Structure 1
Amino acid sequence: MLHLASTARLLGVLLTLFSLAMLPPAAIGFLYGESTAYVFLQAFALLLLMGGLLWAPLYRMRQELQARDGFILVVLFWLGLGIAGATPLYLDPSLQVSFTDAAFESMSGLTTTGATVLTGLDDLPRALLWYRQQLQWMGGMGIIVLAVAILPLLGVGGMQLFKAETPGPIRDNKLTPRIAETARNLWYIYLGLTVACALAYWAAGMDAFDAIAHSFTTVAIGGFSTYDASIGHFDSVAIEMVAIAFMVLGGMNFALHFLVLHRATWKPYRRDEELRAYLLVLGSAIVLVVGFMLWSGFTDQFGDALRRGVFHVVSIATTTGYATDSFYLWPGFLPVLLILLSFIGGCTGSTGGGMKVVRVLLLVKQGLREIKRLIHPHARIAVKVNGKEAPDRVVQAVWGFLAAYVMVFVVMMLGLMASGLDQVTAFSAVAASLNNLGPGLGEVGPNFQSINDFSKWVLVVAMLMGRLEIFTVLVLLSPAFWRR
Structure 2
Amino acid sequence: MSQAPHTNKQRSGAFVQLMELPLFLLIFGVASVSMLVPALHGGVARNLDTARMFFYCAILGLTIFTLIAIAHAGRRQRNGALGSLMSLFATFVFLPAFLAIPFFEGLGTTTFLNAYVEMVSAVTTTGATLFEQPERLNSTLHLWRAQVGWMGGAVMWIAASAILAPLNLGGFEVTAQAEPGQREARSSLIDRADPRERLLRVTGALLPIYIGLTVLLWVLLMISGDASLVALSHAMSVMATSGISPVGGAEFARSGATGEALMLLFMFFALSRLTFSSDTITATQGGLRTDPEFRLGIVLIVGVPLILFLRHWLGALDVAAEDDLEQAWRALWGSVFTVMSFLTTTGFASADWAQTQAWSGLETPGLILMGLALIGGGVATTAGGVKLLRVFALYLNGLREMERLVHPSSVSGAGSETRRLQRNGAFIAWIFFMLFALTLAVLTVLLALLGVSFEDALVLSIAGLSTTGPLTTFAADTPISLVQLSPYAKAVFCAAMVLGRLETLAIIALLTPDLWRD
AA partner of residue 168 (structure 1): G
Distance across 1 between alignment mates of 2:302 and 2:260: 17
Describe the superposition over 1:366-401 as per-residue Cα deviations: whole angstroms up to 9, x where unpaired.
Answer: 122222233333433257563526323433321221
Distance across 2 between alignment mates of 1:421 and 1:474: 28
Please show how residues 367-378 of structure 1 align to structure 2 within 5 Å.
Answer: 367-378=398-409
Q: Confirm whether residue 276 of structure 1 aligns to residue 306 of structure 2.
A: no
Q: Which residue, 501, 505, 508 being the options, matches 1:467?
A: 501
AA partner of residue 317 (structure 1): L
| Match of residue 74 from structure 1 | 88
Distance across 2 between alignment mates of 1:144 and 1:354: 15
Shift of 1:181: 2.8
TM-score, normalised with respect to structure 2? 0.80
Q: Confirm whether residue 219 of structure 1 aligns to residue 252 of structure 2.
A: no
Distance across 1 between alignment mates of 2:307 and 2:20: 49
| Match of residue 339 from structure 2 | 313
AA partner of residue 347 (structure 2): G
Identify if the C-alpha distance between structure 1 residues 105 and 29 changes in structure 2 by more than 3 Å, giving closer, same or farther: same
Q: Confirm whether residue 91 of structure 1 aligns to residue 105 of structure 2.
A: yes
Q: Which residue, 14, 24, 33 being the options, matches 2:27?
A: 14
AA partner of residue 289 (structure 1): L
Identify if the C-alpha distance between structure 1 residues 362 and 238 changes in structure 2 by more than 3 Å, giving closer, same or farther: same
Distance across 2 between alignment mates of 1:340 and 1:21: 35
Q: Confirm whether residue 448 of structure 1 aligns to residue 501 of structure 2.
A: no
Q: Confirm whether residue 402 of structure 1 aligns to residue 433 of structure 2.
A: yes
Q: Confirm whether residue 130 of structure 1 aligns to residue 133 of structure 2.
A: no
AA partner of residue 203 (structure 1): I
Aligned residue pair count = 462
Identify if the C-alpha distance between structure 1 residues 389 and 430 changes in structure 2 by more than 3 Å, giving closer, same or farther: closer
Shift of 1:67: 2.0
Distance across 2 between alignment mates of 1:304 and 1:312: 12
**What secondary structure does 1:85 align onto?**
helix
Distance across 1 between alignment mates of 2:275 and 2:249: 33
Describe the superposition over 1:79-120 as per-residue Cα deviations: whole angstroms up to 9, x where unpaired.
Answer: 12222221211222x352212211111011111111110133
Shift of 1:291: 2.8
Identify if the C-alpha distance between structure 1 residues 9 and 388 changes in structure 2 by more than 3 Å, giving closer, same or farther: closer
Range 168-177 or range 231-240, more displaced: 168-177
The answer to whether the Cα contact below 8 Å between 2:440 and 2:461 also exists between their aligned partners in 1 is yes
The answer to whether the Cα contact below 8 Å between 1:133 and 1:217 also exists between their aligned partners in 2 is yes
The answer to whether the Cα contact below 8 Å between 1:230 and 1:323 also exists between their aligned partners in 2 is yes
Describe the superposition over 1:158-179 as per-residue Cα deviations: whole angstroms up to 9, x where unpaired.
Answer: 9457646963233678699873
Distance across 2 between alignment mates of 1:238 and 1:374: 49
Q: Confirm whether residue 302 of structure 1 aligns to residue 336 of structure 2.
A: no
Unaligned 5+ runs, structure 2: 1-18, 177-183, 280-284
Distance across 2 between alignment mates of 1:163 and 1:89: 36
**What secondary structure does 1:339 align onto?**
helix
Identify if the C-alpha distance between structure 1 residues 446 and 185 changes in structure 2 by more than 3 Å, giving closer, same or farther: same
Range 454-463 or range 436-445, more displaced: 436-445
AA partner of residue 246 (structure 2): T
Identify if the C-alpha distance between structure 1 residues 194 and 175 changes in structure 2 by more than 3 Å, giving closer, same or farther: farther
Describe the superposition over 1:243-287 as per-residue Cα deviations: whole angstroms up to 9, x where unpaired.
Answer: 22222x232323332359xxxxx9622221221111101111111
Range 465-474 or range 419-428, more displaced: 465-474
The answer to whether the Cα contact below 8 Å between 1:70 and 1:164 also exists between their aligned partners in 2 is no
| Match of residue 365 from structure 2 | 334
Shift of 1:206: 0.9
**What secondary structure does 2:243 align onto?**
coil
The answer to whether the Cα contact below 8 Å between 2:156 and 2:380 also exists between their aligned partners in 1 is no
Q: Confirm whether residue 234 of structure 1 aligns to residue 254 of structure 2.
A: yes
Distance across 1 between alignment mates of 2:384 and 2:431: 18
Q: Which residue, 292, 295, 302 being the options, matches 2:311?
A: 292
The answer to whether the Cα contact below 8 Å between 1:142 and 1:165 also exists between their aligned partners in 2 is no
Q: Which residue, 131, 135, 154 being the options, matches 1:118?
A: 131
Identify if the C-alpha distance between structure 1 residues 412 and 387 changes in structure 2 by more than 3 Å, giving closer, same or farther: closer
Identify if the C-alpha distance between structure 1 residues 372 and 51 changes in structure 2 by more than 3 Å, giving closer, same or farther: same
Distance across 2 between alignment mates of 1:76 and 1:65: 16
TM-score, normalised with respect to structure 1? 0.85
**What secondary structure does 2:91 align onto?**
helix
| Match of residue 51 from structure 2 | 37
Identity %: 25
AA partner of residue 181 (structure 1): R
Identify if the C-alpha distance between structure 1 residues 112 and 387 changes in structure 2 by more than 3 Å, giving closer, same or farther: same
The answer to whether the Cα contact below 8 Å between 1:233 and 1:324 also exists between their aligned partners in 2 is no
Distance across 1 between alignment mates of 2:37 and 2:488: 33
Distance across 2 between alignment mates of 1:297 and 1:191: 49
Range 308-317 or range 53-62, more displaced: 53-62
Identify if the C-alpha distance between structure 1 residues 63 and 191 changes in structure 2 by more than 3 Å, giving closer, same or farther: same
| Match of residue 429 from structure 1 | 460
Q: Which residue, 365, 368, 380 being the options, matches 2:411?
A: 380
Identify if the C-alpha distance between structure 1 residues 383 and 356 changes in structure 2 by more than 3 Å, giving closer, same or farther: farther
Q: Confirm whether residue 346 of structure 1 aligns to residue 377 of structure 2.
A: yes
Distance across 1 between alignment mates of 2:26 and 2:421: 39
Distance across 1 between alignment mates of 2:413 and 2:311: 38
Q: Confirm whether residue 363 of structure 1 aligns to residue 363 of structure 2.
A: no
AA partner of residue 467 (structure 2): N
Distance across 1 between alignment mates of 2:368 and 2:386: 16
Range 377-386 or range 367-376, more displaced: 377-386
Q: Which residue, 167, 171, 174 being the options, matches 2:170?
A: 167
Q: Confirm whether residue 65 of structure 1 aligns to residue 99 of structure 2.
A: no
AA partner of residue 195 (structure 1): V
| Match of residue 15 from structure 2 | none
Describe the superposition over 1:419-442 as per-residue Cα deviations: whole angstroms up to 9, x where unpaired.
Answer: 111121111111111101112233
Identify if the C-alpha distance between structure 1 residues 375 and 234 changes in structure 2 by more than 3 Å, giving closer, same or farther: same
The answer to whether the Cα contact below 8 Å between 1:175 and 1:182 also exists between their aligned partners in 2 is no
**Of the two, which has the highest radius of gyration?**
2
